[in-house]
Each structure stands twice: as C-alpha cells, then as structure tokens.
Chain A
Amino acid sequence: MTTLPPWAERPSRAGGLLKRLILTLITVCVLFPIYLVVLTSFSTQEAVTESGGLVTVPGHLSLAAYEELFVGGVVSRSVMVSLGVTLVGTAISLTVTVLAAYGLSRPGSLMHRPLLFLVLLTFLFGPGMIPSYLLISSLGLIDTYWALILPGAVAAFNLVVMRAFFMNIPAEVTDSARIDGASEFRILMKLVLSMSKGVTAVIGLFYAVGYWNSFFNAVLYLNDNAKWPLQVVLRQYVLQGQSLIVGQSGDTTIAGQSLPPASRSRWPSSSRCSRCCSSTRSSSGTSPRE
C-alpha cells in the first residue's frame, strides 16, 4: 500500500482480502495444470502408477520418461524441424517486416498510401483455405518447409505496430543523417534499428512463437510425416493416442473411429507409433488405470 494516492480511501479489510483471494485463485488456475504435468513427466513410472495417473506431490524424480521419448528419434527430429522453421522463419519475417515498416514510415513518399492500404486491407479478410492450398500446391511447395514459412511471413499487425514505432522517432535524427549523405539503408541499420531494439525484440518474439506453435499449416501442407514439426507429432501421440485408448476402455465415444480415411492413412507405421505412444503415455501418465 505504498503508492496509494492521498485522496483515495484505504481499502476495507474484507475488500483487500477478497482481492488477494481472487488473485491467488487466478494464479493457481494458470500454474497448477502446468505444474502437474511437468512434475509427472519427471517422476518415475512407479510414482505415476501409485498416484493414479498424475503426480501432485514431488516424490521420486527421474529423467526416464525423457530418455524414452527421445530414443524413438521421431520426437528429436520433430524438435529439430520446429527449431529450424522457427529460426529461418523468424529471420525472414523480421527482416521483411523491419524493411517494409521503415519504407512505409514516411507519409507523403511515393506510393505511400496505396501500399499502406494494401497492407491494412489484409486485416479485413483472409484468402480462404482452399485457394491458399491450391496456390501452395501450384507453386510446388507441398511437402517443403517453405509452405510453413512463406504464407504467414508478413503479419500486417506486426508491420503496423513497427511502423507506428518508427514514425515516433524524431524526424531531426534521420534528416540530419540524410544531409550528411547517408543512404536510407544505412539510416535504418545504424540509426533507426539501434533506437528501436525493444520493439524489434518483441516483434521477433511474436513471430518466433507463431512459427513454433504453428500447427495447421503443417497439417495442411505436409503429407510426409518425416517432416512434421513438434506440434503435429505432439498431437498425434498424445491427443490422438489418448482418444484411441479412451475408446478401447469402453468410454462414451470411440473417437478413433470417426477419423476420416485420409488422416488415418497418414498415421505413422505401426511399430514406430506403438513405441512412441507408450513412451508419451508413460511420460505424461494418461493411460487410464482403474
């Protein structure tokens, strides 16, 4: 209660208590599931079985689940794929976005308005799934990593945020450099970028998180399961593996049976699947134990 302004009345005891309670509740809601899964993944198989699936109190810790997970090779390869796509994609996106944001940061420059309009218009509607797929396939990008990077390489939102930031840099700074004969590239690299490290890092983080989490592009454009990034592998082995088990143990829906034929044919060969299913199951303890 250090910075309470002098005119404000002090909060009542009950009110302060209620606020603290709500804040604690929110924090617990966010952290508890994460804590539980991380802890279970580090626990020994016996501890998982004993606690009935998920470990709530830290007991016997081990790295066995992780060792088992990476033995199969599928997971480690998909991690490499995700890392590669994230690194290359973020580099491309950030470069293109910074350049365009600076290029559009001076109102009154040639073609400024129509180009900006072209960018802003992408906010209002997307191209649609089917035409995008047809384009990617006619460009021959199916089953290449470029299909994960290029379609979303420029996010109009990030571009606009960055541009707004560049426009707030005082004109005197860039003008004086220009009078000294610096080219626009030089001004961008030496002056503008060094003045906007923070926003560049944030936009880079947004792009990186987007690439790392991207899941649907991979489902759509990659048929070859050797090229799958981590998110798709995670879905296959944890979510779909799980729903099949639920079906076998006689629960309500047999989820596996509603899988359409094409996606079933995309399932990895049986030996690899069973190995990975078992390893993920032991690592996260999702198999039902009555």
Chain B
Amino acid sequence: MLSDRVRTGPAGDLTSPAGAGTSKDVGKKAARTSRTRQPLRSRLKRDWQLLLMTFPAIALLVVFHYVPLLGNVIAFQDYSPYVGMKDSPWVGLSNFQWLLLDESFWDATLNTLSITTFQLIFYFPVPIMLAVLLDSVVRPRLRLFVQGIVYMPHFFSWVLVVTLFQQMFGGAGVLSQTLRNQGYSGFDLMTNPDTFIALVTAETVWKDAGWGTIIFLAALAAINQNLYEAAAVDGASRWRRLWHITLPGLRPIIVLLLILRLGEALNVGFEQFFLQRDAVGRDAAEVLDTFVYWRTLLTGEWSYGAAAGLVKCLVGLILILVANKVAHRFGEDGIYKRS
C-alpha cells in the first residue's frame, strides 16, 4: 500500500534547495520506476483529487495568461475591434517595420534602458549593503525594530509613494517651502525632466530597498558561522571577513537576482511612470509600457501597440536566456541548471 506512493521528496524540480545532491538522484529514480510500473487508470484513481485541486489555478492561469498570448497575433494584422480578430486583414511584418522607423518608439526604448542601467547601479547594491548592515547589528530588538520600519514602504501603493515624494520635493513641498522661507528660490523636482531619472530611482530605493533585504538576510543567515570564527582566529580583520566570507556567500543569490533583473530590463514598473509621465513630460518619462498604453488604448492603434509589446517581451526573454548562459560560464547556477 505504502510502496504505491513512493514519496520522492523535492526531486529535481526548480524549487528544491540546492545541495540535495545524492538523495535527489535516488528520488528521481524512484519516481521514474513507480511511474512506469503503474497503468494510467490506477494513477488517475490515486491522484484525481490532487488534479481536481490544481484545476482552478491552472484554469485561471490558462485563461488569463496563456490565452492572451495567442492574442498577440493581432501584431501581424491590421486589427480593428469592430471587425474582430478573425476577419481583420493580415499585414505580415509591416507593423514591426513601422515600429522600427518610429522615433518615439526608440525614444521610449532609450529612456527605458537608461533608467534600467541607472537603477542597476544605484538601486541594486542598496539592499545588499542594507542587509549586511542589519546583519551586523547585534542587539536583536534593535534589529527587528529597524527591519520593521524599512519593510513598511513596500506595502504602500505607488500612488501613495509618488504623493509622499511630491509633498517632500514638489513645488509646494517641504524642501521647497523651507528654502523659500530662508530666502532662496524654491524648486520642483517632480516636474523637472533632467533629474527625473534620479527621482524615480530614489522612489524605488525608498519603497523597495528595505523589502529587498529579506532575501539577502536569509542568505546571510545561511552562511556557516564557523567560517567567521576560523577566519578571525587566523587573524582576518572585519573587512577581510566581509570580503572573503560574506560576499562569496551572497554570490549565488546576487547572480540570480541580477539575471532576473536583466530579464526585467525593459520592465521598469509601469505604475510609477504612468503616474508621473504627465508632470514630467514625455521626453524623460516615456518608457516602453507607457508607450504601448498611450499608443493603443487612447488612439486605437491596436496592432501597433501589440507589436511594440511583443518586441519588448521577446527582447526580455532573450536577455534572460543570455544572462543565464553567462552565469553558467562563470560557474553559477542561474535560474535553471545546465542539463
């Protein structure tokens, strides 16, 4: 009875923790033999309840995630909502041709890429440094207190975050008012296209840097404390221990997050830019997502917008695969293992 359901453990799937080495292979083998031994009918009899439980989630994902993927065919059509997807004329790649000749598309791409690069330099390291700092706080209560505070902004909506920044740095904000009271001229960071890139990065840091420390704190807790002790006994200073133990310990997770970030390079966070595009102006704040939105839903160029969205999606996919390849070259696991 029991041998029918050989528990294989977290065998060979993407979410299992690394380093399960030998037991994993054993589990895989067991799963395979039990699978071939049993006819489909008895497996169905055994597992139908599990399948039934999985059904609602899978149905939702298929309807709202995979079916819309098929809708991308309108990128190859001259789609009109009145005619429908079936009867709209096919136009081949002409939408993509127009897209590549469109200056505003390239502007949006350039904005997206420069914002991504800027955030990679000025946002990405912040949670790592913050996590190392928090980890070095010895008193547990103080540490929990600071952690609780820095997590908080993650739960605010972008609308609220942008509003708060406006109250601080806007034309009528605190900083400007204080300067005016001192006799200087006020300023308005919220509508200044030149500093916009720093502004959005500051907003991202304020909102998400604290939350981003969670994963690094978990990785720091997993580092073997004996290594620190051995290094200290061997006379390594605080900084040398940070460099030779802490950072190598964080390396896999840093690489993983970097790859994921690269895959999201063209996704800079729609809501944040949508909210500020009007105030700052298109030249600085138009990113690919807002480009698609304004181009399609407000002017009715459906096929054109879908083409832009498709290009963005494909480039993202290619980026993530390339980054993963590079990670393998450097001997890291990345998001999936070499097979």
A contacts, CB < 8 Å to B: 1-5, 7-9, 19, 22-23, 26-27, 29-31, 33-34, 36-37, 52-54, 56, 95-97, 99-100, 102-104, 106-111, 113, 115-116, 118-120, 122, 124-135, 137, 150-154, 156, 159-160, 163-164, 167, 171, 175, 178-179, 183-185, 188, 209, 212-213, 215-216, 219-220, 231-232, 234-235, 238-240, 242-243, 246, 249, 251-253, 255-256, 258-263, 284, 286-290
Contact = CB atoms under 8 A, between A and B. Distances in A.
Interface stretch (B108-116, B248-256, B308-316): B308-316
Contacts of A164: 10, 15
Interface in B106-143: 130, 133, 136-140, 142
Given A127-B65, A131-B306, A163-B15, A213 B167 contact: no
B14 to A, nearest CB: 6
Given A22-B133, A160-B15, A111 B51 contact: yes
Interface residues of B, number: 120
Given A9-B238, A132-B68, A215 B157 contact: yes
A253 B281 contact: yes
Contacts of A126: 65, 313
B339 interface: no
B103 interface: no
A160 B15 CA distance: 8
Contact of A213 (B47, B142, B156): B156
Contacts of B263: 124
B210 A30 contact: yes
Interface of B: 1-2, 5-15, 27, 30-31, 34-35, 40, 43-44, 46-54, 56-58, 60-72, 74, 81, 85, 130, 133, 136-140, 142, 146, 149-150, 152-153, 155-160, 162-168, 170-174, 177, 180-181, 188, 191-192, 206, 210, 225, 228-229, 232-233, 238, 263, 270-271, 274-275, 278-282, 289, 292-294, 296-298, 302, 305-306, 309-310, 313, 316-317, 320
B317 A5 contact: no
B74 A134 contact: yes
At the interface, is chain A mostly helix, strand, loop or mixed?
Answer: helix
B166 A239 contact: yes
Contacts of A258: 278, 281-282
Contact of A125 (B8, B142, B313): B313
A19 B289 CA distance: 40
